[in-house]
Each structure stands twice: as C-alpha cells, then as structure tokens.
Structure 1
Amino acid sequence: MNGRRYPAMAGILAIAIIAFIANLSFGASAMSPRSVVAALFAFDPDNYDHFVVLYQRLPRALIAVFLGAVMACGGAVLQGLTRNPLASPGILGVSSGAMLFVVIAAFLLDVPSQGQGVAAILGGFFGFLNCLLVTRLIVSSKEPHGLAFILSGAVLSMLHGAIANAIMLSSPSRRSDFLSWATGNINHVYVERLRDFWWLGALGLVMLLAMARPLTLITLGRDKAASAGVDVTRITWLSIGAVVVSVSVAVAICGPIGFVGLVTPHIVRPLVGASFRLALPANAVLGAAICLLADLAARSAFAPHVLNTGIMMDLLGGIVFAVIVKRYYLSTSERGAWR
C-alpha cells in the first residue's frame, strides 16, 4: 500500500488538471488549450472566446473546485468519525439545513447575499444537530453510527427541503431566482458568492488538515485515541464544526450538491489508505475533479440545453447509494469494517 499511495496521489492530481483544462475548453463551442491559456494570461478584450473563458467558464470551474473539495473532505471526515459508509453532508442534514436557512433568510427576513452565508452556517449546524437528536431519541447509543443515523438524516433532509420549497412557493415573484439554486447549480452568476465566502471554506479545510493525525487515531478507535493523548470529544466537535462551516458556505454559493461527498471517500480510501494526512488532500483534489467533470457533462450532454450540476450528480448518486447500501448493510462480510 505504501508504495502505491504517492503514485495514486499523482494520478488523482493529473485527473484534476485534465478536468480543469477540459472544463475551460469545452462547452457550447470548443476551444483549444492554447486559446484557454491565452485567455487566462494574455487576455484580449476584442476576442469573444477570451470573454467566455474568463467571465463564464473560469468562474464555473472555480466554484466546482471549491464545492468538490469541501464536500469530499466533509464526507471523508463524517464517514471516519461516525464509522458509517453512508455518512455525508448531504445525508446527515447539513446541506438541507443550510439550504432551508438560506431560503428563510432571503424570503422571510429579506437578508442580503452576504448575510445568507451566515444563515447557511447556522442552518448547517441546525440540520446536523437535529439529525443527532432524532437518532438519540430512536436508539440508546450516545455515538449513533448505524442505519438509524442515516435514516434520520434522510428523513430530516426531505423535511427541510419540503419546508424550503413551501417557502419559495409563497413568493412566486422571487421563486425563479432561487429555484435553480435549490437544485444545485454551478453557475458563473454565483461568482460573487464565491468571492464572499470562499475563505470560510478554506479555513475549514485548513482546520481539518491541522487535525489530520488525531482524526486518524479516532477512526481507529476512541479508546485507542484517548490512550494516545487525543482529546477525543474536543477534536470530534472541532472537526464537525469545520465540516459544517465549509459545507454550509458551499451550499450558500451554489445550493446543495450531495453525491460528491458520499462517493469520493470510497474511491480515495483504497488508493491512499485511511490516514487523513493523505486522504484529505486526495479527497479535495478528486472531489474537485468530479465536480469539474460533472459540470462539463451538465453543460454538454444535453446541448444546447444546460442541466443543473446537482441533477446530474443525483442521477449518479442514487445508483451509488444503492450499491453502498447493498455492500455495507446487506452483505454480512462487509459489516465488520464499519462496526
């Protein structure tokens, strides 16, 4: 395994670079990589293709990179802490709670865009803590990690989404502004939100990287981590807080897109191992690549129509969700790895 980790990291990075270039090169009209580089480093105001690259495709690509990185890292940390292969921000109520609070802030309180980021963070904590509370009411364990935890999150996510949609329906004049966002939409029109909130997501990822060693020890067992001097409770809640903040601001930017946070850790884990020192950077890079490719597919697969990236992700996510459930919950040979 040790000899394969760094080649795997190099391969993941190469995929991300190719995905980034492809995202900038292809769309309604194809451009050569040379034209893309010229648009980025020798911008010609009289060249229409340069405008397309710099003001439409590049903002989308940057949003995709940000979203993929924070969602994938969030999923990896939640799966490690809960020891549950189905755990992800989209399933445990974080994304749906953030979406609900953004809608409440915008529609009921008339909060401007900058304040909606704060609302999203509050909603992310609200959604996750709700999921935790409901699970503890159902089961007696103080550390919920089984199917009840996932079901609680799934039901609450549907409830949050239903309430958000009801609020949007109450104001038809403003609904069109948020309807596309609510289904997960990587779009260059949201680049101002990226400019306002990216540093919060980056701060969350830096915090997770700083806690990589104790997080890895916790995934090996809380008693073992405590015996190695790790303050398990403090690290657990700090890391969950970092995940909630980073994921919530990603939702504030382009709405809830959940598939990447579920599947990316499952791809990365066999390649680089369970140590978060390598797993977090690998998840960030591969998550970014997956979002870049999904955004490219959403723009190209049904041309001239553009599909929301969140819908494209959901089409794949449902299949992957079923496969993971079958493998880890319906196959007795796999249960021990997460129990």
Structure 2
Amino acid sequence: MTMRTGLPVGLAPAGAVLILVAAFLGNLSLGATSISPRSVVEALLFFDQEEFDHFIVAYQRLPRALIAMFVGAVMACGGCVLQGLTRNPLASPSLLGVSSGATLFVIAGIFLLDIPLAWQGVVAIAGGLFGFASCLFVTRLTGMSRDPRGLGLILSGAVLSMLYSGLANALLLASPSRRSEFLSWVSGNINHAYADRLYSFWWLGAIGVALLFVLARPLTLVMLGREKAASAGVDVERVRFIALAAVVVSASAAVAVCGPIGFVGLIVPHMVRPFAGAAFKKALPANAVLGAATCLLADLAARTAFTPFVLHTGIMMDLLGGIAFAIIVKRCYLSPGARTAL
C-alpha cells in the first residue's frame, strides 16, 4: 500500500478549526428561537439566570452541542482507524456491528435486567465487543475473509447490524410502558436530556481516543506492512488489538450517550484523507475536529431544516450518509480500476 503524506495545504488545520468554531456557535445561536452570537458569548462567559436566552444556551443548546462534538470526534477517529487497519474504505463502527451491538445490549440490559445508568456504559462496551467479534466470526465462517476487496466484512457487518437493531426494536415493542423512554434514543437522538449520560460516559470515549493518539506512530507503521512494522520494533498483534479495543470502547461509549449515530465514522475519514494523508499522527486530530464539526452541522440541520418539525440527528445522518455511502461504493468497488485498499 502506498502511503500519502497529504496535500501541502498549510491552512487546512486552521480551516478545520474555523469550521468547528463556526458550527459550534451556529448550533448555539440557531433554532426555534434565534439568539445573537453576542448573547451566546455572554451566556457562556457571564451567565445570568434571569436572561431567558442565557438559560436556553446553557441548559439546552450547550449540552446538545457538547454531545454532538463528543460523538462526532469519537466516531470519526474510530472510522479512521478501522479503515486503516482493515484496509477497507467502508469500515466504520456503524457498519461493523459495534454500534448496533452496543444498542442491543443497552436495551436488553435495561428492559430485561433493569440495570442502572452507571452500568449502561459497561454494558454498551460489552455489546460493542460482541457486535464486532460476531462480525469477524461470520466473515471467517462463510469464507468471505479471503475476499481481497474486503467486501465480505462489510456485508457481514451490515447484516448483523440489521439483525441486532431489529432485536433491539423488538424489545422496545415488547414493553409498551417503557417504549417511549428509549424510542428516541434507539434512533440516535442528540438531546440535552442526555446530558447526564454524557457526564457519566465521556471519559470512556476520551480514554479510547487518547489510546489511539498514543498509538498513532505504530499504527502508521502497521499500515506500511507487517514486516516493516516488525522490523521497526512494533508488536503488530498487540498494537492492532489495543487499537481495535480502543475503537470499540470509545464508539460504544458514544452509543451509550445518545444512541447510534451512523455514517460519521464512514464519511469524515474520506473528507480528511486528501488533506491530512494516511499517517495517523495528522489524520486522527483532523478527524476529531472535522468529525465534531460534521455532527454539529448535522444536528443543526436536524433542528432547522424541517421547521417546525425536529428530526433526530441519527436520522439526518442516515439521510446524508446514505448518499455518501453510495458514492463511496461506486468509487471504490464499481468504478473501472477501483482500488481495494486505502
């Protein structure tokens, strides 16, 4: 595989940060009630509980924006690492069973075992590990792991994701008394009501992403090839295992906060790669920033595009991500001379 160092565009990192700042302020300013940027800044720096606009910013829009940034950054970094390690341009937490497995385990744990909030993050991680492991198992069991294009892994993940999502919805239907409490969550709903979930589980996602940052250099060497990485002193199997575990833990923590938000981990790495290249030392920070910005913009569109109706952010991401998914499939699998690796 040929490594690319990225385009020599010095303004790219600054541009990504500016996009994030603009998306953050836009998310706090726009909505059913428009609030001026000045009032937003005042609410953040000089909060006055007597001001209604300050209350909206601090207790409704700010928690929602923080959740969107957390989920976007975590999922984008996870997709970046998965696409690199599997050498598959379609790999992401939502397409390899991680998100759906975490969703199923959380719903099952709550509805069948009545687990408290404090344990839902751990259950989500167990579900994410189960979803990813079962995806790998089915791929090997059917012999599709030998496909040089890696399409078998994606097909296994897509089928299992539909199965686990269907089981989670079946559990919801089986308990009408509690259905309304989690019906929004299971479809991916970034909402200020889940601020307590962000407070409980953000550190799990942070630990996972921090591990990926620490492993950036050895991960890049692994992408160059097993022999080259080993000759540079990299324990390839250990690095791969820790990196995949970190992706599962961080993505599952994001699911535990607001439910499954799909396609962020698929789209953002493709947006970043032309500018940051394939080296994880540059790609991971760029994915974190642009992933957070993308999720903020998707959440803003979900709240404002169909006024007076408000969509769940997960549904908006599915609408946008479905189009991107089709484009990526055509470019990477159906176009003449399509590449099989990143």
What is the TM-score with the length of structure 2 in the denominator?
A: 0.96
Task: Tell me, yes or no, if the aligned pair for 1:23 and 1:296 is still in contact at 8 Å.
Answer: yes
Whole-Å separation in 2 of the counterparts to 1:287 and 1:208: 15
Deviation of 1:336 (Å): 4.5
Equivalent residue letter for 2:89: P
Deviation by residue 1:105-132 (Cα, 9 ceiling, x = unmatched): 1100000111111110000000000000
What is the TM-score with the length of structure 1 in the denominator?
A: 0.97
Deviation of 1:143 (Å): 9.7
Deviation by residue 1:60-80 (Cα, 9 ceiling, x = unmatched): 000000000000000000000
Match of 2:76 in 1: 72
SS of 2:245's equivalent? helix
Match of 1:167 in 2: 171
SS of 2:96's equivalent? coil
1:305 pairs with 2:309: yes
Deviation of 1:228 (Å): 1.6
Match of 1:188 in 2: 192
Deviation by residue 1:284-327 (Cα, 9 ceiling, x = unmatched): 00000000001111010111211000000000111111111111
Moved segments of 4+, more than 2 Å: 1-6, 140-145
Whole-Å separation in 2 of the counterparts to 1:164 and 1:298: 24
Match of 1:284 in 2: 288
Match of 2:138 in 1: 134
Task: Tell me, yes or no, if the aligned pair for 2:6 and 2:278 is still in contact at 8 Å.
Answer: no
Whole-Å separation in 1 of the counterparts to 2:240 and 2:9: 26
Task: Tell me, yes or no, if the aligned pair for 1:136 and 1:144 is still in contact at 8 Å.
Answer: no
Match of 1:37 in 2: 41
1:203 pairs with 2:207: yes
Equivalent residue letter for 1:304: P
Match of 1:229 in 2: 233
Deviation of 1:4 (Å): 2.5
Whole-Å separation in 1 of the counterparts to 2:58 and 2:329: 42
Equivalent residue letter for 2:118: Q
1:330 pairs with 2:334: yes
Deviation of 1:204 (Å): 0.7
Residues 38-57 of structure 1: matches in 2 within 5 Å? 38-57=42-61
Deviation by residue 1:40-65 (Cα, 9 ceiling, x = unmatched): 11111111110000000000000000
Q: Which segments of 5 or more consecutive residues in structure 1 lack a partner in the other structure?
A: none
Task: Tell me, yes or no, if the aligned pair for 1:82 and 1:144 is still in contact at 8 Å.
Answer: no
Whole-Å separation in 2 of the counterparts to 1:173 and 1:141: 43
Equivalent residue letter for 1:244: V
Whole-Å separation in 2 of the counterparts to 1:140 and 1:181: 33
Identity %: 66
Whole-Å separation in 2 of the counterparts to 1:142 and 1:202: 34
Whole-Å separation in 2 of the counterparts to 1:68 and 1:308: 15
Task: Tell me, yes or no, if the aligned pair for 1:99 and 1:255 is still in contact at 8 Å.
Answer: yes
Whole-Å separation in 2 of the counterparts to 1:291 and 1:282: 14
Match of 2:264 in 1: 260
1:239 pairs with 2:210: no
How many residues are treated as equivalent by the alignment? 338
